[in-house]
Amino acid sequence: MFTAVRSASSRTLLGARMLSSTAPAQSPISRITVIGGGQMGSGIAQVAATHKHDVTLVDVNQEALDRGKGYITKSLKRVAKKKLPDSERAQTEFVDEVLSRIKTSTNPTEGASQANLVVEAIVENIKVKQDLFASLAKAAPEGAILASNTSSLPINKIAEPLGAQHKKNFIGLHFFNPVPQMKLVEVVRTEEADQQVIDDAVAFVKAIGKSPAVCKDTPGFIVNRLLLPYMMESIRLLERGVASPRDIDTAMKLGAGYPMGPFELCDYVGLDTIKFIVDGWYKEGKGLKGDKQFESSEKLNELVKNGHLGVKTGRGFYEY
């Protein structure tokens, strides 16, 4: 998943605003099912539960669910320590209260059977997502919103196997990593989505303390559509010998006021993720097919081939 990045100071301020566990009453959504217990899915579950929504977290096996609950518990403890620094008992009560609103399941259809909103946060494979939503549509209550957290795949294409009624309830809800800190959620409108579904999704996003940005289903939505060309052009500057990664990063941080330079950002996001997205857009992206700004990069291909994917592997454009 693509990640938006903020400075440490803005994250601190944002974290303070995210501490409230009171859910505004205006959202019609109260029961959430999240499919996928990785960092994105567990983050979505944490934020929803913190704002007093009942959450079911679903993954393929108990080991994956335990790992997801571990992510949530560790994150909540950090939040509680900042919120309640003078009372370990109050910290424990806060963490336990939020966790009590999260149950787990290894059965997606069972998990979706009582939900107002089902959010998918699984592998970026369109066939896998299509098969999942085909089964979820049969199990979810009538009128339940079905949403994908994809950052790179067309929402309309994911919804293709669904019937007309379920397509009306299908949207994109693109959260940013790390979910508890990042304020933005892109609400992606499909061609057939009902306006009430969009309105309810926007109300939910606000109810969990986030800021919605509504957009049409287009490659990269808003953030990644603007961010990818910037990152790819930075790599091409390097390939042309214009400047080093360090000098390009310094120029953008000090000259444009960005908290991270493009190569720091590439390494943070993951070079394999960037390659996956730009290759897909170049081959078949709507309105982007054959666009030279997404043409294959020798430097990027070399790093990915050698397993140098950025921060997560200890080496990318920089060593960590």
Q: Identify any residues that bridge with 281 across adjacent strands, giving them in sequence order.
A: none
Cα separation, 29 vs 13, in Å, equals 27
* Cα–Cα distance list, 315 to 239, 251, 279, 306 (Å): 18, 22, 22, 10
Q: Is 160 a catalytic residue?
A: no
| Catalytically annotated residue among 116, 149, 156, 224 | 224
Closest CA to 100 of 137, 73, 60: 73
Residue 106: count of CB within 10 angstroms of its CB: 13
Q: Is 42 a catalytic residue?
A: no
Torsion sign over Cα 270, 211, 117, 214 = negative
Q: Identify any residues that bridge with 120 across adjacent strands, giving them in sequence order.
A: 35, 148
Q: What is the dihedral of CA 307, 308, 311, 315, to 10 degrees?
A: 130
Q: Is 224 a catalytic residue?
A: yes
| Catalytically annotated residue among 51, 116, 166, 186 | 186
**Measured CA angle at 200 (ends 178, 142), to 5 deg:** 110
Closest CA to 167 of 186, 149, 148: 148
Q: Is 151 a catalytic residue?
A: yes
| Catalytically annotated residue among 42, 105, 148, 151 | 151
Cα separation, 235 vs 230, in Å, equals 9
| Catalytically annotated residue among 174, 177, 297, 308 | 174
Q: Show which residues are catalytic.
A: 151, 174, 186, 224
